[in-house]
C-alpha cells in the first residue's frame, strides 16, 4: 500500500528544481519508478510530494565530441544507451553492461539517472562509470556542481544529493589512446542483479605493453561501488602477465567488504572477486592492445 502524496509532473528542469527547493525533504523525485515504486510500496519512503521528471524531454540525450567526450542526459533510458551507435562505437563497455541489466521491459522505462541516484551498490552502471572516470552534474536552483562518480556514493542506498538537488548529466571523458575497458557480473540468470560485478579500465604505454593506468571497480562487494586501489597499484608501471593478474585479484578480494545474503556468503563473493578481477582485467589488457 502506497501512502498518499501530491503529484507534480514538471516539464522543465527549472520547474522541477523550484518544486524541490520548495518542498525539500518532504519531496522525492520519480523518473521511471522502477526502484522508487518498490521502496514506496515497501513503505521505506513516504514522500508527501512526488515530482515526476519523466516528461522533461531536455534531459534525454546522448552526445559525443572527440574533445569533450560523452554526455548522457539523466533521463536517458537504459535501452537507449544499449542501442546507441555512438556508444557502441566509442564506449562499447557501456552497451555491453546495459545488455545484461534487468529485462528489456525495465531497460525500456528505467533511466540511467534513476539507477545512479537509487545508490544500490549492486547497480551495474556505477562501477563502469567510475572505471571510465565519469563525472556527474548536479543542479539546484542555486547553481550546478560536478562530482566524480566515485564520490557520489555515501553508503547503502545513500548518495550525496542534497534535498534540493537533482542529477542532470553524466559526463564521460574521451578515452586515452591504447585504453581497454570491460565489465562483467556474476549472475544466476541473464539480467539478474550481480552477485558481484567488476569493471576494469587499462591504459598501456604508447609503444610498449607497460600499464600506464588501471582502474578496478567492484559492484556489490561493499556498501558502495568500490574502487580497489591497492589492486590497481599492482598493475600500474608493469608489463601485465598472468601472475600479476592473479595478485591483483587476490588483493582486490581482501580490499572488498562484501555482504552475505541469500545469493552468496561474503566468503563466496571474495572468491568470485578474485576470478572476476583476473578475467575482466585480462580482457581489458587485450582490448587496450587492440585499441
Ligand atoms: C525487475 C528489475 C530488475 C533490475 N535489475 C537490475 C540490474 O540487473 N542491474 C541494475 O543495475 N539495476 C537493475 N534494476 C534497477 C533498475 O535499473 C533501476 O531501478 C532503474 O534504472 C532506476 O531508474 P528509474 O528511472 O526507474 O528510477 P526511479 O525508480 O524513478 O528512481 C530511483 C531513485 O532515484 C531518484 N532519482 C531518479 N532520477 C533522479 C534524478 N535525475 N536526480 C535525482 N534523483 C533521481 C529517485 O528519487 C529514487 O530515489 C532492476 C529493477 C527491476 C525492477
- Can you give the pLDDT of all 291 residues of the chain as single tens digits? 888 999 999 999 999 999 999 999 999 999 999 999 999 999 999 999 999 999 999 999 999 999 999 999 999 999 999 999 999 999 999 999 999 999 999 999 999 999 999 999 999 999 999 999 999 999 999 999 999 999 999 999 999 999 999 999 999 999 999 999 999 999 989 889 999 999 999 999 987 789 999 999 999 999 999 999 999 999 999 999 999 999 999 999 999 999 999 999 999 999 999 999 999 999 999 999 999
Nearest to 31 by CA among 50, 17, 12, 18: 50
pLDDT at res. 159: 98
What confidence score (pLDDT) does residue 206 get?
80
Residue 107 corresponds to which cell in the numbers above? 531497460
Q: What is the pLDDT of residue 208?
A: 77
- Rounded to the nearest angstrom, the distance between the alpha carbon of 38 and the centre of ligand 1 is 10
Rounded CA-CA distance 194/106 in Å is 16
Q: Is 30 in the pocket of ligand 1 (CB under 6 A)?
A: yes
Instruction: Calculate how far, in angstroms, residue 126's C-alpha sits from the geometric centre of ligand 1.
Output: 12
At 194 the pLDDT is 96
Say how many Å lie between the CA of residue 249 and the centre of ligand 1: 30
Nearest-CA residue for ligand 1 atom 49 is: 118
How many helices (H) and strands (E) in the chain?
12, 14
Q: Return all residues near 44 (Cβ < 8 A) that are at least 6 apart.
A: none
Check if 118 has its Cβ closer than 6 Å to any atom of ligand 1: yes
CA of 98 to the centre of ligand 1 (A): 13
Return the residue whose CA atom lies nearest to atom 53 of ligand 1.
Answer: 34
Q: Choose the residue to mutate in 12, 31, 127 for probing ligand 1, maximizing ligand atoms within 8 Å of C-beta.
A: 31
> Please, what's the largest Cα pairwise distance for the chain?
63
| 3-state SS class at 114 | helix
Give pLDDT, residue 90.
Answer: 97
Whether ligand 1 lies within 6 angstroms of the CB of 127 is answered as: no
Atom of ligand 1 nearest to the CA of 167: 42
Strands (E), the chain: 6-8, 27-30, 49-52, 62-65, 69-73, 135-140, 143-148, 153-155, 158-159, 166-172, 179-185, 197-204, 211-219, 226-227
Whether the Cβ atoms of residue 197 and residue 185 lie closer than 8 Å to each other: yes
Q: Is the Cα torsion angle 194, 195, 201, 202 positive or negative in sign? A: negative
Distance between CA atoms of residues 218 and 196, nearest Å: 7
The predicted pLDDT at position 199 comes to 98
207: DSSP letter: S
Q: Does 72 sit in the ligand 1 pocket, CB within 6 Å?
A: no
Using the atom order of ligand 1, give the atom closest to the CA of residue 45.
49
Distance CA 235, CA 205 (A): 13
**How many Å lie between the centroid of ligand 1 and the Cα of residue 34?**
5
Matching residue, cell 521511471: 32
Amino acid at each position: 500500500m502506497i501512502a498518499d502524496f501530491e503529484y507534480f509532473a514538471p516539464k522543465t528542469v527549472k520547474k522541477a528544481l523550484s518544486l524541490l527547493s520548495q518542498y525539500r525533504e518532504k519531496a522525492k523525485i520519480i523518473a521511471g519508478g522502477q526502484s522508487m515504486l518498490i521502496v514506496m510500496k515497501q513503505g521505506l519512503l513516504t514522500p508527501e510530494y512526488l515530482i515526476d521528471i519523466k516528461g522533461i524531454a531536455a534531459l534525454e540525450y546522448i552526445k559525443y565530441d572527440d574533445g569533450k567526450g560523452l554526455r548522457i542526459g539523466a533521463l536517458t533510458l537504459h535501452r537507449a544507451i544499449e542501442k546507441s551507435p555512438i556508444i557502441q562505437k566509442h564506449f562499447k563497455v557501456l552497451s555491453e553492461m546495459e545488455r545484461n541489466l534487468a529485462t528489456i521491459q525495465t531497460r525500456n522505462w528505467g533511466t540511467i539517472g534513476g539507477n545512479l541516484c537509487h545508490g544500490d551498490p549492486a547497480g551495474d552502471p556505477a562501477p563502469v562509470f567510475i572505471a571510465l572516470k565519469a563525472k556527474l552534474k548536479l543542479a539546484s536552483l542555486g547553481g550546478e556542481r560536478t562530482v566524480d562518480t566515485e564520490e557520489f556514493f555515501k553508503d547503502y542506498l545513500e548518495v550525496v544529493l542534497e534535498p534540493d538537488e537533482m542529477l542532470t548529466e553524466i559526463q564521460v571523458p574521451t578515452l586515452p589512446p591504447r585504453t581497454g575497458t570491460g565489465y562483467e557480473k556474476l549472475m544466476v540468470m541473464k539480467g539478474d542483479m550481480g552477485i558481484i560485478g567488476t569493471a576494469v579500465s587499462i591504459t598501456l604505454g604508447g609503444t610498449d605493453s607497460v600499464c600506464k593506468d588501471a582502474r578496478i571497480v567492484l559492484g556489490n562487494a561493499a556498501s558502495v561501488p568500490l574502487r580497489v586501489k591497492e589492486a590497481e597499484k599492482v598493475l600500474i608501471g608493469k608489463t601485465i602477465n598472468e601472475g600479476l593478474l592473479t595478485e591483483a585479484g587476490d588483493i582486490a578480494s581482501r580490499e572488498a567488504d562484501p555482504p552475505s545474503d541469500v545469493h552468496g556468503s561474503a566468503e563466496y563473493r571474495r572468491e568470485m572477486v578474485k576470478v572476476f578481477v583476473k578475467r575482466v582485467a585480462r580482457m581489458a589488457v587485450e582490448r587496450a592492445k587492440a585499441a
